[in-house]
A and B are shown apart, each in its own frame.
Chain A
Amino acid sequence: MMQSKQKAMTAALDNGLTDAAVEGRSLWRDARLRFFRNKAAVLSLIVLAFITLACVFGPMVLPHTYEDTDWDAMGISPTLVNTHWFGTDALGRDLLVRCLIGGRISLMVGALATIASVALGIVWGATAGFMGGKVDALMMRIVDMMYAVPYLLIAILMVTLLGRDFYLVVLTITVFSWMDMARVVRGQTLAIKSKEYVEAAHAIGVSTPKIIFRHIVPNLLGIVVIYTTVTVPGVILTESVLSFLGLGVQEPMTSWGVLIQDGAGVMDASPWILLFPAGMLSVTLYCANYIGDGLRDALDPKDR
């Protein structure tokens, strides 16, 4: 019986080996396959792509602009009769176009602030992890400090003092969104730094920059991708909160947060002005979260 068990195991091992020989799959190919098997994530990806495309191209093809008043249709409810499918606000501006333009701003702030904070987080975390010692301790102490700070209030202070320019909003959000990434990247760098292949590279005389870019950075990518998808909804949410409080972009320019605030003011008479932008924002956040979950499952199969 022992023997038969052993035989079965050898057979299984052989099979596994031949399988591997027949079909070698890279980590990324593997991850892609796993991601596309996750229905919720794929659906979210499609919905998010649709929203993004609509925001980018919708305002170009629709017959209204985000700032012009339609004097014949002020504050009308959603209708199929004329082209105001989402209705108009109290000033007669087409709500659909405003939602799409607002989406442009929200998604653009989301994209820019995410890129900036991810870059900052990677550089900060990788430096701290690679340098180690006192530099590491100091850099991580700063990260701890940033966590303890009530960020929204400081963001409010920054916007108050520096003005409500689009790029300043991006900067303000970036300043408070990079710490998670820095922590994760540092941890991963520390783990990779002590791996045998890095030691081997050192031993055969590979230069430090080359070790960082050839051996450490590629192995960071998986975790960076995962945490980037976690950053996106957080950043969009922060922008919306600032806009909601009246501290984001200024009229007649708009974003989802601004639209939700406008809608909240008139929700007893015309609830659709609140519900459309709120719905779009919620759906976007939901999709971003599901895509993040999908990517985590796909790229980090151990952590389930």
Chain B
Amino acid sequence: MWSYTFRRVLATIPTLLAVITVCYLLLHLTPGGPFDGERKVSAAVLANLQAKYHLDLPLWQQYLYYIKSLLQGDLGASFRYADWSVNDLVGKALPVSAAIGGGAIVISLFIGVALGIVAALRQNSIIDYLVMLLGNIGGAFPSFVLGPVLVMVFAIGLEWLPAGGWDDFSLRYMVLPMALLVFINISTIGRVMRGSMIEVLGSNFIRTARAKGLPMRTIVLRHALKPALMPVVSVIGPLAISSITAAVVTETVFGLPGLGKLIVNGAANRDYTLVLGLVVLVTVITVVLNLLVDLAYALLDPKIRY
């Protein structure tokens, strides 16, 4: 296990390095520098400024400086928001995204697994179809269509909840964004859970458990649940990546001050360093998340040899 863990951790380094390098080079492809502005700065001042930020060095040395500061956890300064470093902006935005995204994933795991089990137990019945139809709504409609529709129904039509905005983790403002993410996630989780549950319920050890006369409840919870959950664990990684897309859209739809909103605003303002910093940060998060899921999978599934 340890050597497997070590190898997997090592394997993430090329991915991270490749993404950072490509993004960094892309940034340098664009014309213009940070100090090209309306107001002309005198040549001497410009030289000083460039020396301060190492912009006078050859590209590979600048790159090494950038990697060094990344390793120290510094994502650089923002181009547009004066006096703000990317770290400060991330520090304010990350908790919002984490609360919404993390909360949504946990809730959708519970709901999706429950829906999958119910649908599997009543396979091809009306309940099965209803459950899957409910799950498919999230899968069939793009998030940026479903989001406004949710707002239209629950905020504008029924006036139950605010249409958007953020009020210091107040639950009222978190319900609709989380509902949207949950809707999207449960279609995947529910479908995977249903399929694997049906497969597990058809296997020999379940037949044995039935033959022993165990009640269905015990069979499902004690015997079938664990093996049936394995495929669900394996989709958490891809789900996390698609959740990032969904989160960017969700935060735009509901005007939440999270990472997604930050990156979209950064892109609109052409705040290069902010966007680069966020891309690097989110790439690290997803790669680490994928790594953890893989390790958890290896730990949980005795069939995997490493």
- Using a CB–CB cutoff of 8 Å, the interface residues on chain A facing chain B are 141, 144-145, 148-154, 156-162, 237, 240-241, 244-247, 257, 260-261, 263-264, 267-268, 271, 274, 278, 281-282, 285-286
Q: Which chain B positions have C-beta within 8 A of A154?
A: 19, 23, 279
12 further A-B contacts with Cβ under 8 Å, apart from A152-B244, A153-B279, are A150-B283, A150-B286, A157-B23, A157-B279, A161-B30, A241-B249, A245-B248, A245-B267, A260-B145, A268-B156, A281-B145, A285-B140
**Complex Cα–Cα for A207 and B28 (A):** 45
Q: Which chain A positions have C-beta within 8 A of B267?
A: 156-157, 159-160, 245, 247
A-binding segment of B126-134, B180-188, B226-234, B269-277? B269-277
* Most central of B140, B151, B267, B275 by chain A CB within 10 Å: B267
* Most central of A153, A240, A241, A281 by chain B CB within 10 Å: A153
**Complex Cα–Cα for A205 and B273 (A):** 58
Q: Which chain B positions have C-beta within 8 A of A145?
A: 14-15, 18-19
Q: Answer whether residue B29 sits at the interface, using C-beta atoms and an 8 A cutoff.
A: yes
23 contacts between A and B (CB under 8 A): A148-B241, A149-B283, A150-B286, A151-B245, A152-B245, A153-B279, A153-B283, A156-B279, A157-B267, A160-B272, A160-B275, A240-B142, A241-B248, A244-B144, A245-B248, A260-B148, A264-B151, A267-B151, A267-B152, A267-B156, A268-B156, A278-B149, A286-B140
Shortest distance in angstroms between B30's beta carbon and chain A's nearest beta carbon? Answer: 5
Q: Answer whether residue B266 sits at the interface, using C-beta atoms and an 8 A cutoff.
A: yes
Q: Answer whether residue B10 sits at the interface, using C-beta atoms and an 8 A cutoff.
A: no
B:120-169 near A, CB below 8 Å: 140-142, 144-145, 147-149, 151-152, 156, 163
Shortest distance in angstroms between B281's beta carbon and chain A's nearest beta carbon? Answer: 9
Tally of chain B residues near chain A (CB < 8 A): 45
**Complex Cα–Cα for A156 and B26 (A):** 12
Shortest distance in angstroms between A257's beta carbon and chain B's nearest beta carbon? Answer: 7
**Complex Cα–Cα for A287 and B142 (A):** 14
Residue of A nearest to B27 (CB): A161
Q: Answer whether residue B41 sits at the interface, using C-beta atoms and an 8 A cutoff.
A: no
The answer to whether B15 touches A282 (Cβ under 8 A) is: no
Q: Answer whether residue B64 sits at the interface, using C-beta atoms and an 8 A cutoff.
A: no
* Most central of A145, A152, A241, A285 by chain B CB within 10 Å: A152
The verdict on A245 contacting B252 (CB below 8 Å), with A150-B283, A160-B270 known, is: yes
Shortest distance in angstroms between A21's beta carbon and chain B's nearest beta carbon? Answer: 40
Q: Answer whether residue B282 sits at the interface, using C-beta atoms and an 8 A cutoff.
A: yes
From B148, B244, B266, B290, give the contact of A263 (CB < 8 A).
Answer: B148
Q: Answer whether residue B100 sits at the interface, using C-beta atoms and an 8 A cutoff.
A: no
**Complex Cα–Cα for A260 and B252 (A):** 13
Shortest distance in angstroms between B170's beta carbon and chain A's nearest beta carbon? Answer: 22
The answer to whether B144 touches A148 (Cβ under 8 A) is: no
**Complex Cα–Cα for A267 and B14 (A):** 46
The verdict on A150 contacting B282 (CB below 8 Å), with A156-B267, A240-B144, A264-B148 known, is: yes
The answer to whether A158 touches B26 (Cβ under 8 A) is: yes
What 0/1 readout, one digit per residue, does chain B (236-265) give for beta carbons within 8 Å of chain A?
A: 000001001100110011000000000110
The answer to whether B266 touches A282 (Cβ under 8 A) is: no
Residue of B nearest to A261 (CB): B144
Q: Answer whether residue B287 sits at the interface, using C-beta atoms and an 8 A cutoff.
A: yes
From A153, A160, A247, give the contact of B282 (CB < 8 A).
Answer: A153
Q: Answer whether residue B224 sits at the interface, using C-beta atoms and an 8 A cutoff.
A: no
The answer to whether B286 touches A282 (Cβ under 8 A) is: no
Shortest distance in angstroms between B183's beta carbon and chain A's nearest beta carbon? Answer: 15
Q: Answer whether residue B268 sits at the interface, using C-beta atoms and an 8 A cutoff.
A: yes
The answer to whether A148 touches B290 (Cβ under 8 A) is: yes
The answer to whether A278 touches B145 (Cβ under 8 A) is: yes
Q: Which chain B positions have C-beta within 8 A of A151?
A: 241, 245
From A160, A257, A281, give the contact of B266 (CB < 8 A).
Answer: A160
Q: Answer whether residue B192 sits at the interface, using C-beta atoms and an 8 A cutoff.
A: no
Shortest distance in angstroms between B143's beta carbon and chain A's nearest beta carbon? Answer: 8
Shortest distance in angstroms between B9's beta carbon and chain A's nearest beta carbon? Answer: 13
